[in-house]
Structure 1
Amino acid sequence: MITSLNEGTSKDEVFIESILSDLSKIAEKNNVINPEFYKKYDVKRGLRNENGTGVLVGLTEIGNVHGYIIEDGERIPDKGKLTYRGIDIEAMVDGFQKESRFGYEEVCYLLLFGELPDKSKLEEFKYILGEYRYLPDGFTEDMILKFPSNNIMNKLQRSILGAYSFDSNPDDTSIKNILRQSVELIARFPTMIAYGYQAKAHYYNHQSLFIHSPRPELGTAENILHMIRPDNYYSKTEAETLDLALVIHAEHGGGNNSAFATHVVSSTGTDTYSAIAAAVGSLKGPKHGGANIKVMEMMKDIKANVKDWESLSDIKEYLIKILSRKAFDRTGLIYGIGHAIYTLSDPRAVLLKKKALELAEEKGRLEEFNLYKNIEDISVAIFREIRNTPIAANVDFYSGFVYDMLNIPCELYTPIFAASRVAGWCAHRIEQVASEPRIIRPAYRNVKDREEYLPMKKR
């Protein structure tokens, strides 16, 4: 029984809270499925086969994630490969970096149109993105500043849905119109998240409000750094590093949760804004888009408990404690190590690690980089030694460290992921609408026994 009220809380609110608390216990009790039923009815939980592979539910030409080979129904570990429209991501990154170019806009073009642009087409595409980066008149004031949110992903989702009202032709699902909406969203995501962050910093954290206009001549990575920093300044290495992070997060096959959400919602025939907002809602979940934040929390704990960062034995001893559920959050997980598909290597982590070293040298944080590298190496060795399991660092292991070196606030980690992945989502939406007219509708088996309706006096 509640005997006291919090300041500003009415008796009615306390009474309602008490009722809801009781009802939640009833709801939880009556919504737990008997776990034995999943095996009895051969349910593909999480759309996974028994060997851990994903259930095949569709076809795509946009991206492919390779991490193992199937032989006689068993998974055989293999070097990780990620391709965009059939092009190896490592070859693509090597290509634009050798030419001292930013790559994200080229990746967006490739994902949307299915082919690499020549120089003139890329310049035209970058020009269109530059012109679309500005938000519609009144949008910043009415949709963002008047209704700030403590969570930037929530603010981004609301901004996407709000953009529907500023579109003169929002419900047209022709490929031409979806493409126009897609390019606008790709261009405006950085502005939406930057302004959403500035509103949050001002209204929730009582900091000065900085609203910098995007610069159409700058690329996506440069505009993000330009708009989130009070002085607009960033170094060449910083911009190149963020551009690489955007490139490697832009797409990851049709089976990841947010891409699948895009396919599911798009299959209903709904508008682009609803489909992309659903994808953002999926990415917001910590099991999908927020993994690098858990890595950062774990690293903070390791730094506090391992006094000698150069001692491999001390690091190994503490990592074993984490695996044994005796340290950190006691889940037994070393965050950033392992992946659902990649086994021997994650190509995104390989690429980002290389750039992280370059940035660490510029920032004077080599000691910290070496700690990450040692944790990666020791974790891989521990899993082979204790569990006989091949495992590798995934992209989240280094991405949080990179964002921290870029002085990007933690609450922007997942929104920046979204600003990158929106290109992949839009490509999947176009592919779904163009290729598959059927609505996606999987089956759920009802396992509830029949019951009779009881009159009120008999309940």
Structure 2
Amino acid sequence: MSFKETMVTAFTENNRISPEYYSKYHVKRGLRNSDGTGVMAGVTNICNVHGYVVDDGEKEPAEGKLIFRGYNINDLIGRAVAEDRFGYEEVVFLLMTGRLPDQRELEDFTVLLSDNRALPGTFFEDMILKAPSRDIMNKMARSTLALYSYDSDPEAKTPEHEIDTAVSLIAKMPVIMICAYEAKKRFFTEESMIMHQLIKGQSTAENILSTLRPDRTFTHDEAKLLDLMLMLHAEHGGGNNSTFACRVLTSSSTDPYSAYAAAIGSLKGARHGGANHKVAEMHAYIKENVSDWEDNAEVSDYLRKILKKEAGDGSGLIYGMGHAVYTLSDPRAVILKKYAGAMAEGTEYEREFRLLESIERLTPIVFEEVKHSSKVMCANIDMYSGLVYRMLGIPEELFTPLFAVSRMAGWCAHRFEEINSGKRIIRPAYKSVSREKKYIPIEKR
């Protein structure tokens, strides 16, 4: 066996823990309780993700609620839509300050973000163009770390520095994303790289569409729908993996760039923000293998095959269904479904939207039949987000990066809270099950 083969074998054999130890020592893998609820690891005043109630020790399903700083996401989006204005900047201000801005503050904050979008000097050429990446999330994380070098005092521990850094990163993330995407096109798919100048005064959603599209044109309704997506993804509590990663690094008293880069790295994972790619892949399997998308029996039959690991990616999972917290409904999916349906009506996407509705409706029925479980499940936001992005002409490789662009606001808010309230390095315990061994001299091995 070669040295490399030995290392590969050891990678698996010497890093596997017997499942019995987790039961024996009452270890809660994934920081999850046996009923699926999360282990209480902190307290936050930023967001409440409500998906169930606990009654006499029993977990009871409930309609989902998403609350930002005390304000229901339905109200935040509802008012922005009713007043025909962009709402993401208002949400960012709310998350960072804990209160809603007045009209003047909102206008000034929107201008502040616009003024902070431009990348430093030759940053694009030196940090992105000279070292392009096949993965845009990778480049966004690396660029976040690289901005440390452009900060005159990156280790400053003052509120002013934290706020300035947060505003700068929230503003620059869309630009870094588009630059990384264009560089990827140029070097890895042999497409033309089109770089547009930034337009002052645009909202975040308008900025993304105007720099992404070759002709820079977009409709007001398209920008408003993307703005809606940014609002829905801006924050989701302290327990989600990327936010927790940000808080863990923050608790060590490291610099903001390191903490935010870690959050991006977490969100990149297929079990977190990258899950939208698995949903898109599954939808492609269904569209290809189900001849009549309106035939409930045929759709159900294919879903049954997916659950039995006879179709799809072989995982047995129906992606886009179920959530770690939400039970009866994911409020983000409910909102997105409404606007996605309205935009799809009368277009080439209407038929596909109806298929997604069928998957959402039929999955619980098929799941109970195959798994013999009456587990309550609902569609999550990923069920409809891919369709919305495609209706906006956004390529799949930008789905997760757009998530990161939006969630930067939530990460910043949680870093602020951890700095002011955490006061201790986060260090959970790990039970060692290794045994001490007598050292063997090298000539006797």
Q: TM-score range by the shorter chain?
A: over 0.9
Q: Aligned partners of 2:199, 2:406: CA distance in 1, in Å?
A: 18
Partner in structure 2 of residue 361 of structure 1: 345
Partner of residue 126 from structure 1, selected from 110, 134, 137: 110
CA contact (8 A) 1:129 1:216 kept: no
Partner in structure 2 of residue 410 of structure 1: 396
Partner amino acid, structure 2, of 1:419: V
Q: Is 1:76 aligned to residue 60 of structure 2?
A: yes
Partner in structure 2 of residue 428 of structure 1: 414
Q: Aligned partners of 1:441, 1:356: CA distance in 2, in Å?
A: 42
CA contact (8 A) 1:66 1:81 kept: yes
Q: Is 1:397 aligned to residue 383 of structure 2?
A: yes
CA contact (8 A) 1:383 1:391 kept: no
Q: Aligned partners of 1:46, 1:249: CA distance in 2, in Å?
A: 22
Partner in structure 1 of residue 175 of structure 2: 191
Query: Aligned-pair distance for 1:116?
Result: 0.3
In structure 2, stretches of 5+ residues that fail to align are none
TM-score in terms of structure 1 length = 0.94
Q: Is 1:103 aligned to residue 87 of structure 2?
A: yes
Q: Aligned partners of 2:132, 2:226: CA distance in 1, in Å?
A: 26
Partner in structure 2 of residue 446 of structure 1: 432
Q: Is 1:242 aligned to residue 214 of structure 2?
A: no
Q: Aligned partners of 2:123, 2:193: CA distance in 1, in Å?
A: 17
Query: Aligned-pair distance for 1:419?
Result: 0.0
Residues 341-399 of structure 1: per-residue CA shift (max 9 Å, x gap): 10000000011111111221364321111111111111133345552122110001111
Partner amino acid, structure 2, of 1:103: G
Residues 105-133 of structure 1: per-residue CA shift (max 9 Å, x gap): 00000000000000001111111101001
Q: Is 1:319 aligned to residue 300 of structure 2?
A: no
Partner amino acid, structure 2, of 1:315: V
Question: SS where residue 423 of structure 2 aligns?
Answer: coil
More off after superposition, 288-297 vs 342-351: 288-297
Q: Aligned partners of 1:110, 1:173: CA distance in 2, in Å?
A: 23
Partner in structure 2 of residue 289 of structure 1: 273
Partner in structure 2 of residue 228 of structure 1: 212
CA contact (8 A) 1:267 1:436 kept: yes
Q: Aligned partners of 1:216, 1:43: CA distance in 2, in Å?
A: 52
Partner in structure 2 of residue 65 of structure 1: 49
CA contact (8 A) 1:249 1:417 kept: yes
Q: Aligned partners of 2:341, 2:130: CA distance in 1, in Å?
A: 41
Partner in structure 2 of residue 175 of structure 1: 159
Partner of residue 455 from structure 1, selected from 430, 441, 445: 441
Partner in structure 2 of residue 9 of structure 1: none
User: Which runs of at least 4 in structure 1 moved beyond 4 Å after TM superposition?
Assistant: none
Partner amino acid, structure 2, of 1:401: L
Partner of residue 160 from structure 1, selected from 129, 144, 147: 144
Partner in structure 2 of residue 10 of structure 1: none
Partner amino acid, structure 1, of 2:381: V
Partner amino acid, structure 1, of 2:200: P
Query: Aligned-pair distance for 1:190?
Result: 0.1
Identical-pair percentage: 51
CA contact (8 A) 2:241 2:266 kept: yes
Question: SS where residue 394 of structure 1 aligns?
Answer: coil
Partner of residue 24 from structure 2, selected from 29, 32, 40: 40
Query: Aligned-pair distance for 1:161?
Result: 0.6
Question: SS where residue 69 of structure 1 aligns?
Answer: strand
Question: How many residues are paired up?
Answer: 443
Residues 198-246 of structure 1: per-residue CA shift (max 9 Å, x gap): 0000111111111112222111111111111111111222111111111
Partner in structure 1 of residue 335 of structure 2: 351
Q: Aligned partners of 2:442, 2:56: CA distance in 1, in Å?
A: 58
Partner in structure 2 of residue 13 of structure 1: none
Q: Aligned partners of 1:457, 1:254: CA distance in 2, in Å?
A: 52
CA contact (8 A) 1:384 1:390 kept: no
Question: SS where residue 26 of structure 2 aligns?
Answer: coil
Q: Aligned partners of 1:60, 1:265: CA distance in 2, in Å?
A: 17
Q: Aligned partners of 2:70, 2:398: CA distance in 1, in Å?
A: 30
Partner amino acid, structure 2, of 1:135: L
Q: Aligned partners of 2:25, 2:88: CA distance in 1, in Å?
A: 45
Q: Is 1:212 aligned to residue 196 of structure 2?
A: yes
CA contact (8 A) 2:307 2:367 kept: no
CA contact (8 A) 2:269 2:275 kept: no
Partner in structure 2 of residue 255 of structure 1: 239
Question: SS where residue 211 of structure 1 aligns?
Answer: coil
Partner of residue 328 from structure 1, selected from 282, 298, 312: 312
More off after superposition, 381-390 vs 126-135: 381-390
Partner in structure 2 of residue 150 of structure 1: 134
TM-score in terms of structure 2 length = 0.97
CA contact (8 A) 1:157 1:280 kept: yes
Question: SS where residue 78 of structure 1 aligns?
Answer: strand
Residues 259-313 of structure 1: per-residue CA shift (max 9 Å, x gap): 0001100011111100000000100110001111111111111111110111111
Q: Aligned partners of 2:215, 2:5: CA distance in 1, in Å?
A: 48
Query: Aligned-pair distance for 1:35?
Result: 1.2
Partner amino acid, structure 1, of 2:413: A
Residues 23-48 of structure 1: per-residue CA shift (max 9 Å, x gap): 12123211111211111011111111
Question: SS where residue 345 of structure 2 aligns?
Answer: helix
Q: Aligned partners of 1:26, 1:330: CA distance in 2, in Å?
A: 27
Query: Aligned-pair distance for 1:252?
Result: 0.4
Partner in structure 2 of residue 12 of structure 1: none
More off after superposition, 162-171 vs 19-28: 19-28
Q: Aligned partners of 1:127, 1:43: CA distance in 2, in Å?
A: 49
Partner amino acid, structure 1, of 2:85: R
More off after superposition, 70-79 vs 271-280: 70-79
In structure 1, stretches of 5+ residues that fail to align are 2-17
